[in-house]
């Protein structure tokens, strides 16, 4: 990182970040001429306070001091007036479902007004230079106290960036410090993001929980959804055990997803379909050699729940009108297999609400024997700031509130597995074993609940797998019927998700799955080490945009890029597997260069055990629409 005090600008990796200025509540305050030096900048503000940017190695620290009395701010940060020579930036999503992807400002100007989400991001970004390789990484180091945000402004030309720590009007006296940042250049974008993830892991007060084996197993949601009962779950349990035993593969978890509780919040009750409760099913799964799992949404409280009826003071209230805040409503025909029309947010700062949740997790873990927890809709505990919400305990940031829940869960479940879903991606480091990295995969190729999220978010979030948590690409679809996918689409998605190096789970009744797909699943399960894959072409493709609609009906920008994805995996036997995946609807031909195999020189390549032709540049691959093909080459460099 090179800093020029004379111009107050950073230059690195072919990109120049200039026009630096302090940000307070999203506005550049009036200030005198800055005082500069090699170690940073000081701005004397009109009110007599001082804003400092201090530099140490690749770290940037921002702080405000010298103000009188107690100060409550919404945010503190840095404005980059000009990010020069940037071709694309990474829009890094905040939670599982809001998407991470690259944005190309030059071609996105016509759609950013309709979909401003593409101009916001969280935690970190990668800036890709024009006409060059590599990336510049700018990211926050800590995520357990504050939410950190990026805003990208390019609608009128050029690119400006606001980098902010959200303080949520927490009171400060004497001084305020934003979360520390790191800024550095990387030779390759995905490895640069891994470097940032490693720095985040090192800065975390609790080291990451990284399971030694890939998490594998069966989940009820994508086959049964809420149509759960004891007989049907036992049928699927028998099929899962028979598959595991027949193929002699690890298949460890039997997860009962949503649908067994009558209302959100009534976590110790069960629907009438479970007259003996849910514990006998957990006992049955354990007896068959599985780790039994349950689904929960700990921040959700249905308006028809017994919990809300008996404890209406346990939910978060609106600062505007005092009514319960309802981030999710179902006032029409669809009621999500419950009676509730509205879903509120449990106030985890209320000591009685916290004690109730402790009791729930303690009962599930210690009395019922649950060993795997899927904790869903976790973002609901961190979406409201102090400007909107009234919590029982004031003067906490949204992340300080959220962390109370994740710490409570881990304290009560001990060493059981915890998967976070619909959750802040970066806050639960050291508490979550695994993290969902996209939306529900669904049963179609495109649309709101489809393969599109998997294809987009797995590539852009792959870097954190095995560093911060084990990634969950969602369940693999194996069945022949009751979906809108072709055989090529299903087979390609199985390989794409299964080769990612994270969780491998399915929801299908495995006795009904075709033998060849059971064999494919078994082959993926035999790679037990959580070895992450790589996407060597990440960020290289030019982008163009069209407008569609999002899940809520609002306009959504859709990026169109090279349809061919290249995914590489270093296998446990020392070979390199390259998965070449045509995500488009036209036949295409592609040269896969030796660099994708981690080689400078040619080497023998095989497909399905047979030699595959190659030349000095690489291998030429022809792909049908939605087809993927897998090629294996020795990972050892061999000069020719």
Distance of CA 635 to the CA centre of its chain: 30
* Cβ count near 29 (within 10 Å): 16
Which structure tokens are listed for 475?
């369940």
Q: CB–CB of 305/384 below 8 Å?
A: no
Confidence of residue 327 (pLDDT cuts 50, 70, 90): very high
Half-sphere exposure of 639 (CA within 13 A, CB side): 0
Extended beta strands in 25-85, E state? 35-37, 40-44, 50-56, 59-72, 75-84
Q: What pairs with residue 185 in β-bridges?
A: 136
Confidence of residue 573 (pLDDT cuts 50, 70, 90): confident
Contact indicator for 570, 531 with CB cutoff of 8 Å: yes
CATH number of the domain that residue 178 is part of = 2.70.98
Do 401 and 424 lie in a common domain? yes
> Which CATH number do you get for residue 625?
2.60.40.1180
Does 222 lie in the same domain as 196?
A: no
Residues 25 and 103 in one domain: yes
- For residue 191, give the H/E element and its range: helix 189-203
Question: What local confidence, expressed as pLDDT, does residue 639 receive?
Answer: 42
User: Please, are residues 294 and 373 in contact by the beta-carbon 8 Å criterion?
Assistant: yes
Last-in-domain residue among 203, 235, 250? 203
Query: Distance between CA atoms of 191 and 257, rounded to whole angstroms?
Result: 35
DSSP string, 313-351: GGB-EETTT-SBP-SEE--SS--TTSS-SEEEEB-TTSH
Answer positive or negative: Cα dihedral of 208, 213, 219, 221: positive
Weakest mean pLDDT among 309-313, 478-482, 579-583, 634-638: 634-638
416 and 456 belong to one structural domain: yes
Identify whether 552 is part of a domain. no
Q: What backbone torsions phi and psi does residue 204 show, to the nearest 5 degrees?
A: -65, 135
> At a CB cut-off of 8 Å and minimum separation 6, what does 128 contact?
86, 87, 88, 89, 102, 134, 135, 189, 539
Determine the pLDDT at residue 637.
Answer: 61
Q: What are the pLDDT digits (tens) for 47-79?
A: 999 999 999 999 999 999 999 999 999 999 999
Share the mean pLDDT of the chain.
Answer: 95
Q: Indicate the residue among 172, 203, 234 that finishes a domain.
A: 203
Same domain, 571 and 480: no
pLDDT computed for residue 487 by the predictor = 95
- How many whole angstroms separate alpha carbon 161 and alpha carbon 83? 7
Domain annotation covers residue 531: no
What are the CA-CA distances from residue 454 to residues 274, 377, 462, 536, 574 (Å)? 34, 18, 11, 17, 27
DSSP string, 398-430: HHHHHHHHHHHHHHHHTTSEEEE-S-BSSTTTT
Residue 596 pLDDT > 70, yes or no?
A: yes
Q: Residue 1 pLDDT more than 90?
A: no
Same domain flag for 568 and 622:
yes
pLDDT of residue 622: 98
**Within a domain: 488:** yes
Helix (H) / strand (E) containing 238: helix 230-247
Task: Using alpha carbons, list the distances in angstroms from residue 249 to 220, 240, 242, 287, 291.
Answer: 20, 11, 11, 18, 15
Alpha-carbon distance values, 117 to 40, 82, 94, 97, 98 (Å): 32, 20, 11, 13, 9
Query: Poorest-confidence range of 66-80, 440-454, 559-573?
Result: 440-454
Among 16-20, 270-274, 440-444, 505-509, the minimum mean pLDDT is found in 440-444
Percent of the chain with pLDDT over 90: 92
- Both 573 and 446 in one domain: the answer is no
Distance (Å, whole) CA 312 – CA 411: 26
Domain-embedded: residue 276: yes
Q: Does the pLDDT of residue 635 top 80, yes or no?
A: no
Phi/psi for 589 (5° steps) reads -120, 140
Q: Is residue 430 part of a domain?
A: yes
Q: What is the mean pLDDT of residues 374-403?
A: 97
Element (H, E) at 605: strand 605-607
361 and 225 together in one domain: yes
Does residue 132 share a domain with residue 22?
yes
| H or E element that contains 149 | strand 147-153
- Look up the CATH number of the domain holding residue 224: 3.20.20.70
> What pLDDT was estimated at residue 638?
45
Query: Domain boundary at 144, 174, 203, which?
Result: 203
Residue 549 lies in a domain: no
Sign of the CA dihedral 607, 485, 564, 469? Answer: negative
Q: Tens digits of per-residue pLDDT, 200-226?
A: 999 999 999 999 999 999 999 999 999
Q: Which one, of 310, 629, 287, 631, lies nearest residue 492 by Cα?
A: 629
Looking at the structure of the chain, the number of domains it has is: 3
310 inside domain: no
Provide the pLDDT for residue 336. Answer: 81
Kindly state whether residues 588 and 517 are assigned to the same domain: no
Residue from 165, 83, 80 nearest 127 by CA: 83
User: Longest Cα pair distance anywhere in the chain, in angstroms?
Assistant: 76
Q: Is residue 640 over pLDDT 50?
A: no
Predicted confidence at residue 530, as pLDDT, reads 87
pLDDT band at 450 (very low <50, low <70, confident <90, very high): confident
In this structure, the answer to whether residues 196 and 275 fall within a common structural domain is no
Residue 636, pLDDT above cutoff 70: no
CA-closest candidate to residue 543, choices 106, 127, 130: 106
Q: 568 forms bridges with which residues in the sheet?
A: 534, 578
Structure tokens at 393: 């305990």
Whether 41 contacts 6, CB under 8 Å: no
Mean pLDDT value of segment 492-513? 96
Averaged over 544-561, what is the pLDDT? 90
Tokens encoding 2: 């090179």
Are 367 and 503 in the same domain? yes
Q: Which parts of 432-538 are beta strand (E)? A: 434-436, 470-472, 504-506
Proportion of the chain above pLDDT 70, given as a percent = 99
Domain enclosing residue 18, as ranges: 2-203
Q: What is the DSSP letter of 307?
A: H
CB contact set of 170 (below 8 Å; sequence gap of 6+): 72, 386, 395, 396, 397
Compute the average pLDDT of residues 412-440.
97
Q: Considering the domain boundaries, does residue 323 fall inside one?
A: no
């Amino acid at each position: 990182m090179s800093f020029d005090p004379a111009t107050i600008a950073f230059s690195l990796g072919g990109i120049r970040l200039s026009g630096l200025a302090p940000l307070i509540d999203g506005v550049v305050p009036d200030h005198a001429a800055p005082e500069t030096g090699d170690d940073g900048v000081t701005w004397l503000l009109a009110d007599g306070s001082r804003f400092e940017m201090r530099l140490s190695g690749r770290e940037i620290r921002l702080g405000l001091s010298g103000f009188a009395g107690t100060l409550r701010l919404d945010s503190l940060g840095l404005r980059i007036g000009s990010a020069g020579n940037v071709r694309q930036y990474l829009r890094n999503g905040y939670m599982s479902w809001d998407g991470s992807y690259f944005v190309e400002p030059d071609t996105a100007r016509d759609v950013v007004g309709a979909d401003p989400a593409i101009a916001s991001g969280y935690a970190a970004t990668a800036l890709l230079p024009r006409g060059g390789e590599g990336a510049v990484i700018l990211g926050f180091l800590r995520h357990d106290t504050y939410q950190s945000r990026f805003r990208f402004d390019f609608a009128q030309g050029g690119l400006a960036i606001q980098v902010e720590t959200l303080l949520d009007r927490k009171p400060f006296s004497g001084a305020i410090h934003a979360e520390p940042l790191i800024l550095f250049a990387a030779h390759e974008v995905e490895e640069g993001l891994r470097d940032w993830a490693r720095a985040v892991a090192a800065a975390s007060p609790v080291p990451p929980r990284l399971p030694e084996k890939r998490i594998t197993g069966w989940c009820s949601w994508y086959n049964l959804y809420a149509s759960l009962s004891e007989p049907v779950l036992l049928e699927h349990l028998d099929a899962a055990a028979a598959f595991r035993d027949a193929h002699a593969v690890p298949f460890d978890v039997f997860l009962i997803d949503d649908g067994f509780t009558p209302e959100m919040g009534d976590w110790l009750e069960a629907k009438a379909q479970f007259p003996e409760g849910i514990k006998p099913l957990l006992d049955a799964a354990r007896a068959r050699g599985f780790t039994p799992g349950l689904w929960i949404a700990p921040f959700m409280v249905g308006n028809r729940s017994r919990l809300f009826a008996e404890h209406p003071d346990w939910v978060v209230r609106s600062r505007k009108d005092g009514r319960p805040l309802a981030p999710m409503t179902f006032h029409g025909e669809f009621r999500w297999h419950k009676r509730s029309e509205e879903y509120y947010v449990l106030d985890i700062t209320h000591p009685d609400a916290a004690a109730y949740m402790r009791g729930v997790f303690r009962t599930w873990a210690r009395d019922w024997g649950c060993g795997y927890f899927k904790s869903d809709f976790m973002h609901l505990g961190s979406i409201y700031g102090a400007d909107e919400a009234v919590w029982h305990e004031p003067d906490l940031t949204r992340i300080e509130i959220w962390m109370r829940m994740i710490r409570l869960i881990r304290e009560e479940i001990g060493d059981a597995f915890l998967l976070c879903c619909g959750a802040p991606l970066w806050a639960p480091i050291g508490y979550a074993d695994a993290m969902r990295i996209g939306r529900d995969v669904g049963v179609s190729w495109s649309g709101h609940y489809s393969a599109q999220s998997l294809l987009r978010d797995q590539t852009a979030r792959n870097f954190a797998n095995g560093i911060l948590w084990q990634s969950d690409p969602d369940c693999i679809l194996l069945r022949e019927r009751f979906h809108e996918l072709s055989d090529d689409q299903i087979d390609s998605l199985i390989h794409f998700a299964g080769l990612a190096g994270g969780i491998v789970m399915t929801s299908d009744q495995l006795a009904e799955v075709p033998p060849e797909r059971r064999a494919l699943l078994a082959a993926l399960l035999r790679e037990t080490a959580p070895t992450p894959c790589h996407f060597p072409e990440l960020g290289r493709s030019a982008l163009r945009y069209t407008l569609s609609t999002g899940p809520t009906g609002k306009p959504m920008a859709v990026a169109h890029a090279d349809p061919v994805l290249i995914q590489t995996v270093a296998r446990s036997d020392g070979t390199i597997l390259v998965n070449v995946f045509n995500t488009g609807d036209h036949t295409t031909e592609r040269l896969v260069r030796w660099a994708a195999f981690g080689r400078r020189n040619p080497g023998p390549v095989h497909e399905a055990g047979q030699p595959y032709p190659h030349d000095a540049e690489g291998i030429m691959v022809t792909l049908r629409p939605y087809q993927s093909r897998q090629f294996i080459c020795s990972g050892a460099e061999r000069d020719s």
